[in-house]
Every structure is written in structure tokens, then in C-alpha cells.
Structure 1
Amino acid sequence: MALATKTERRPSIAAVVWRSTVGKKAVMAVTGAVMLLYLVVHMLANLKIFFGPEEFNGYAHWLRTIGEPFLRYEWFLWFARAGLLASVVLHGVAAYQLTRRDRAARPVAYTHRRARTDYATRTMRWGGVILALFVVWHVLDLTTGTVNPNGEPGRPYENVVATFGTWYGNVIYCVAMLAVGLHVRHGLLSAGRTLGAVGARSARAVRVTSEALALVLTAGFLSVPLAVMTGVVN
């Protein structure tokens, strides 16, 4: 008599969602929204540099004291960083797996290339790579100070000025912020379609919104290095 096989364990709901194409697209949309919210808040915070070192450094100190005394110094900031890192990793892994799944589904290339779609896909892919590398640089530059030769611990205003006082700091930052703009422009519309928020009537409005938001974010982020380079901030 054959031995009875054990009951197979059913995969969790999270595993089922993650394995599906729709689930991966939803993960990309949600994590993209988290990162977009972070970008908006971060851009607005960066603009505080135009009000002088006291306000900019005061804001940086306030971030490190959020939640006290329940949380210890900088705990909230590290929780936020961990959440953002998780979003970046999930977003990137889902994008990579969806690309491989898409290629496996159509091993033979299309006879007529869809130029506009291919451009958007390439922009998202390489923009994501550039931004991932920039995040590493940004942490080493303004968080740990490893690659900022003139940086001083506990003086964020002075560290920003020191960063944009170098040609390579400006080039790296400006290229990354242009990539941010292109990524937001294509990503917001794609996320809206994935979540079912974009229909035939709303497509134009979402496209205009994504382009306007991308322009505002890019201009806001680039205003800081430009201000340092022109002496407006010193």
C-alpha cells in the first residue's frame, strides 16, 4: 500500500501576488508611489537651503529627533531609510523579472518596432540603473561623508556646498536628477495604467500631470547645485 502523501502547503497570499504578472506590476506601482512621495518631500526640504544654514541645519537636526523620547535619536530616520530601501529593491527586482518574463513570452522580435514604447522602456531601465548607482553615491557623499573630502559631520548645509563645489559632484548630481525627471515622466503614467486609474478620457490629464511633476521635481533638485555654482548659496 502506498504511503499517504503529506498535504501540500498552500503558498501565502503574498507569494501568489508576487508570482503573478499583475502582482509584480502592482508592487512596482505602489513602491513607485512611495518613492515619488519621498522625492517630493525631499525636493521641498532641499529648497530650505535658500533660507540659510541655520534653517537648513535646523531641519536636518529635527529629522533626527522625530519620535523622541519614544524613539531614540535618528531611529525614525533609519526606519524611513529602511522602508525606502525596501521599496527600491522590490521595485527593481519586479522590473527585472517582468522584463525577463516579457522577453520569454515573445522570443521572436516584432517585425515593426514600436519606437515610442521602446524609448520609454529603455529610459525606465537605464534611468533605474543610474538612480540606483546615484543612491549609493548620495549616501557615501552626504550621509557618511566618505566621498566628500571637505565634508564636516553634523553640518549638512556646509556639506551640500562642499559637494557642489566640485565639478564631479555637480555632474553626477545633475545627470541623476535628469534621470529622475524622465523616470517620473514615464513611470507615473505606467503606474496609473497598472492600477486602472488611466482610461481613454483621463490618459491626457495623467500624461500632462506626469510631465509637469517631472519638470517641477527636476527643476527643484537642480536649483540647489546651480545656486551653489553661481554663488547664490555659499
Structure 2
Amino acid sequence: MELTQILSKYKGRTLKEEELSHYVNWAMDYFHDENHVTDPYLTMTLNLDLTQARSVYENSYKAVEGASFQAYLVWNLSRALQKEWTFSTRNIDGTWYLFTNLPIFTPIAVGGDLRFKDVIIENSTELSWQEFAQAYRNEINNENAQLEILPQKVWALCPFIGNLPNMNFTSFQVHRNRLKTGRPLFYFGKRVQTADSLFVPLSISIDHANADPFVLDRLISSFQSYLCNNIH
């Protein structure tokens, strides 16, 4: 797929220097300069409190056809990523772009020889909860499980949101693609019920060129706000 096609399909445009703060302009250059930094990614694992989110889901979202709590997590994380615009910037061949409609990539464990299949949710930022839940369910139920559905140039741009429901990890680091595009990577772990609380480990890898702990804190706040809001 050519760059013009990628920009058209996924609603991308070139970022202009005057749109960005002095720090962001500096970071986008500095952290992708291999003379200074060999690996620009920061990785951390948070213990995310899902207690209120689960209650909101059960009371207001679960009844939708095809619904699952994991789909609810992915849907709201995709909304938060869109709200905090810097997480939608991508570097392609040395130029930074802002996208508003990138697909969501989430690997699903299926076992057997295939091990995983790729689930791709297109137009995720434009889908209502009902539409997203059904699209997610349809992808999971698709018996034609495949790998590498998308061209590498497109796959390397997609937000990566994985799930390891049987692993209660305290730290988890995802290997990175050779293409340094600035996409964020997330992995949910095993949900753990403790007394009246529900927690899940969430591994996060962000490119320091277009994100940092300051904007990550805003992203997590937006994510939690969406999760605990019963309006949809």
C-alpha cells in the first residue's frame, strides 16, 4: 500500500512544525536519532483498578449483543488514545503524521498450530459501543483465523492491544518492530479479584519521541473516565 493510500484510508495528514510545542518538536527528532538513542521505547506495567469499570459494564453495557468485558476495555482504550492526540501520531520514513482512524490490532490466542490469530478492528474511532462489540465478537468467532492480515507498513502503525488472560505478570515487555513508527503497545494480563476490588496488570510501551509519562498519565485518566461513564 502506498503512502497516499494509507493517508487517505486512515485519515492521516502531515504534522506541521508550528502546530507542535518546542519540546515535542525536539523529542520527535532526538529520540529517533540513533546517534543519541538506540531504543526510544519506555516500558512500564501498571496495576489497573477495574472495580468501578466492571460495575458500570455489568449494569450498562453487558446487555449489548456480542458484548464482552475485554471488548469494553479495548473500545475505551481506543477512545482514550484518540482523545490524547499525540498517541495517534506516527513516523513514516522520517516524517511525522497525525491519524484519526487507524485500525486497532489485537492478537487473540486460539491455541493449536496457529497459536494466535490477528483481530483487526477497522474504523474503531467511529464505532458506537454496540457496533464495536459486534465487530469484536465477529472477529473472534471468525473461523478463518489468519496471521499477517495487514501489510507490514500498515500493521506497524496500528495501536497494539493484546490480552494474556491467564498471566498475572508484574512486568512484561513486548518486542518492537524494526520500523520505529511511534505506535503504542499494550498488553492486559490476568484479572485478579481481591476482596471487593478487581485489578488487572497492564503492560505499556510508548515511544519517547511522541509520548512520555506526562501524557501517559493523561491517557490513563481518560481511559478510566471512559470506563466508568455509563453514557454510550
Q: Which has the higher strand share?
A: 2
What is the TM-score with the length of structure 2 in the denominator?
A: 0.25
**Structure number with bigger Rg:** 1
Q: Which has the higher contact order (CA 8 A, sep 6+)?
A: 2
Q: Greater helix share, 1 or 2?
A: 1
| TM score, norm. by length of structure 1 | 0.25
